[in-house]
Structure 1
Amino acid sequence: MTVPAAVVVVATVVLVVILSRRHRPGEAVDELDDSTASLLALLGESVVVVDSSDEVVLASPSSYCFGVVADDAVVDSRIAEAVGKARRGGHRVRFDLTTSTPERFREDAESMGGGSVVGDAGDDGSDVSGVSRPNWLKVTVGPIGRGFVVVLLDDVSERMRFMQTRDSFIENVSAQLLEPTRSMERLASSLESGHGDETDLRRAASRTRRLARHMDRLVNDLLLLIRAQEPVDAAESNRLALDVPVRAARDDCALEAKERGVALRLTADRVVMVHGDGPQIRVAVGRMIDNAIRYSPDGASIDVTVGTSTAGDRAVVRVIDRGAGISREERPRVFERFFRGSNQSARTADGVGLGLAIVKHVALTHHGGVSVWSAPGQGSTFTLSLPLADGDS
């Protein structure tokens, strides 16, 4: 038995003793005493205790964020069923469970490391999608005497996400790198053999050049993702006016916008101060603008705004386009690495699928968030929100 497992077993035994002493027939549980609270803090897992009437008498805050408990009841049907089964059979029940965090707890889940990315995407807050990922739980349910049943929730979400990201990363990067390599091999073979006319060789060379640019962008994006992993903490040395990197990002995209006849309009009504890495923010906003240009028709207009959230506690950068828009089904996935939506065109076909993932990671390293409002045929609004620097609220 591992040390953490031994701690859980010992703690659960102590919990049985505490509950058996505190609860006599007909008595209600009014509040958590200090000894039980200390025990819950000792456990590395979330804990829910249900009485003989199936009322939740003890619950860790995370059990609400996991969507397992609401008010004084277990609301997940599988756990409720397991509670009854454990009570009747007198033995433990173990199973894996996947849940979704209720909307009202998603910001709390983010602060607890639950993996949701949220942001203020619009004053009306309508039809906004952030990144809401599932909670993967290992559940243990067992009776502890006097009709009480304890539910232990071991959150293995980070482990599962790491494994999924690793596998997806290897698969996608391998595929992205193999295609340019094979194209160069075919071109080299044609040149060595002397076969093929000049037109075919030029066509193959053009394709190889395009794939080489694609590979160059992929490698650069991967390097950016690696750099955007360490949290950026507030310090006087990294205090900056947000409009400075935003203007630089706008300028970076100006040539591409001009070639497409797209008007880039920047509005920064006031100086908004944040703590951050200027180059990272510049890249993130640049990816948002580049994405808007790629998915907008020729001659369209794109608005970039710098301001504060409705509540006045966050710095906000919005990139608003009038392009193709994103379907409701695909919106929750747009910040995933290598995700490509179904509305691709010849102009967007050579995309890597890392641009918005970079935006997400830059937001997270700055203790901020990112979100999207979109509707097919009506365009999209991508929002990057960052904490305001002290004294700028």
Structure 2
Amino acid sequence: MSASDSSVVIFVLFGLLAVTLVGAAIYMLYDRAVGVVVRLLPRLHLSRVFATLRQRIGGRVPDDDEQSDDLDDSTAALIAMLDVASVVVDATDGVVQANPDAYALGVVDDDAIVNDTVRQAVRDVREHGGRRSFDLTTATPERFVPTMPDAPGHTRHQRDMQAVSRPNWIKVTVGRLNSRIVVVLLNDVSEEMRFAQTRDSFIVNVSEQLLAPSEHLEHLADSLEAEDLDVDRVRAQAREVRRSSRYMSHMVSDLLLLIKAQEPVTPSEANRLLVGEQLRAVVDGLQDESRRLGVDIVVACDPGLCLNGDAVQIRAAVRKLLDNAMAYSPRGASVSVTAGLSKDGGHVIIRVIDRGPGIAKADQSRVFERFYRGGNQNDRTREGIGLGLAIVKHVALTHHGTVALWSAPGQGSTFSMTLPVAQGR
């Protein structure tokens, strides 16, 4: 191919990249506009709720001398049927009625409001009337964070492993029903907020990854058009283009796998899998990488373990965990992949254990998010995409299971997938 022909190819590729970037920009602007509307909807919904309650107690909020000090049964029933978490507070700040979600969101405990911001808003509304609306971020109490099923032979740290707890983002509305009774409505918008964060990370990450190959292509085009064509330089830049292309292909493959891992797997005789076979197939495929990194892989699996699943997804999830474990382990170390039966006999627990640097507490709550990159990157992981652990999480969910992490700086990490055992024979 001549230099001129190569230039034509290069500029065609530039055109395709430009179209992709324009499309991403249009999507970003559209998605942000939709996000604004979505964030306004909870406010409008809670305003309608309080309007309904006011109508229920007389069409308006009466003066204090007109109000009853009691919450009648029908009003209490109406509050209980709301599709947001609700808390009813009396004149002594005691909680007389609360949705269970109010406890799980960390606002109520032991029949009292434990969040200072909400408690102050309740007192302010009781004294001055009106309504207060504000955003609140809370942490889920430890007792509401699901623990991993236990299995024989696990260390104390592994038995204490918990699923990652993430912050709760709440739209709070506080209103007075009468001189004594104040109602707190808690609209949990955590999923919407996490989606917005993921969306923004996705846009930034993909845009950056699209810019890298375009820059490499531009440098290659400049070299091809130069009068004093430097073959060595062209070859070096072509290698950069090839590396960027492989990276983009890897990202697209991960995105397709992530999309596939959204539909729950229906157990059947056709998708019964022997866990040991799946683990050995993954480890066999990693032998070259294991030798290159100087990290051994140790496999231990209880015999006869079966689960219902998609073999491609299960292997991909285990491989992602092993890839991570090897990448963060020093040369000469070993990583372990084990599979055993939970004590209740209803779950298969697959664990991948490394002796690497561990994961900081601040990063642990976000490692399963799409495109999230922690702060402890090394030369092996610096160019990662940030989709591996998100794929693991969604594979576990689509197989009706869970995924969890135990890690401590300097003590390594343990990632666990807990999946139901196969049904029937």
Tell me the TM-score normalised to structure 2 length: 0.79
Aligned to 1:288: 321
For residues 134 and 210 of structure 2, what CA distance do their matches in structure 1 show? 40
- Measured against aligned partners, the alpha-carbon deviations of 1:296-325 in whole angstroms (never above 9, x if no partner) come to 222322211011235544211111122232
For residues 362 and 295 of structure 1, what CA distance do their matches in structure 2 show? 22
- Measured against aligned partners, the alpha-carbon deviations of 1:117-175 in whole angstroms (never above 9, x if no partner) come to x7459652467464322211111111112401111111222222222211211111111
For residues 86 and 98 of structure 1, what CA distance do their matches in structure 2 show? 21
Note the C-alpha offset of 1:190. Answer: 0.7
Among residues 291, 295, 298, which one is paired with 1:258 in the alignment? 291
Once the two structures are superposed, the pairs formed by residues 130-209 of structure 1 within 5 Å of their partners are 130-195=163-228, 197-209=230-242
Contact map agreement 2:106 2:141 (CA 8 A) in 1: yes
Among residues 181, 206, 231, which one is paired with 2:264 in the alignment? 231
For residues 130 and 353 of structure 2, what CA distance do their matches in structure 1 show? 57
For residues 141 and 350 of structure 1, what CA distance do their matches in structure 2 show? 47
Matched, 1:377 2:410: yes
Among residues 345, 370, 392, which one is paired with 1:359 in the alignment? 392
Matched, 1:73 2:112: yes
Contact map agreement 1:246 1:281 (CA 8 A) in 2: no
Q: Which amino acid is 1:174 matched to? A: S
For residues 221 and 68 of structure 2, what CA distance do their matches in structure 1 show? 84
Note the C-alpha offset of 1:15. Answer: 6.6
Structure 2 unaligned blocks of 5 or more? 1-40, 59-66
Aligned to 1:110: none
Higher alpha-carbon deviation: 119-128 or 365-374: 119-128
Question: Structure 1 residues 49 and 181 mapped into 2: Cα distance closer, same or farther (>3 Å)?
Answer: same
For residues 377 and 6 of structure 1, what CA distance do their matches in structure 2 show? 50
Question: Structure 1 residues 5 and 336 mapped into 2: Cα distance closer, same or farther (>3 Å)?
Answer: closer
Aligned to 1:115: none
Question: Structure 1 residues 317 and 390 mapped into 2: Cα distance closer, same or farther (>3 Å)?
Answer: same
Structure 1 unaligned blocks of 5 or more? 18-22, 108-117
Aligned to 1:114: none
Question: Structure 1 residues 37 and 89 mapped into 2: Cα distance closer, same or farther (>3 Å)?
Answer: closer
Aligned to 1:84: 123
For residues 155 and 201 of structure 2, what CA distance do their matches in structure 1 show? 35
Contact map agreement 1:11 1:42 (CA 8 A) in 2: no
Question: Structure 1 residues 146 and 239 mapped into 2: Cα distance closer, same or farther (>3 Å)?
Answer: farther
Tell me the TM-score normalised to structure 1 length: 0.85
Answer 1 or 2: which has greater helix percent: 2
Among residues 340, 346, 361, which one is paired with 2:379 in the alignment? 346
Q: Which amino acid is 1:12 matched to? A: L
Note the C-alpha offset of 1:348. Answer: 2.2
SS of residue matched to 2:405: strand
Give the superposed CA RMSD: 3.0
For residues 82 and 135 of structure 1, what CA distance do their matches in structure 2 show? 19
Note the C-alpha offset of 1:338. Answer: 2.1
For residues 376 and 172 of structure 2, what CA distance do their matches in structure 1 show? 40
Identical positions, percent = 50
Among residues 115, 136, 139, which one is paired with 1:97 in the alignment? 136
Aligned to 1:112: none
Q: Which amino acid is 1:70 matched to? A: D
Note the C-alpha offset of 1:63. Answer: 0.4
Higher alpha-carbon deviation: 286-295 or 200-209: 200-209
Note the C-alpha offset of 1:234. Answer: 3.7
Contact map agreement 2:148 2:163 (CA 8 A) in 1: yes
Aligned to 1:49: 88
* Count of aligned pairs between the two proteins: 373
Aligned to 2:101: 62
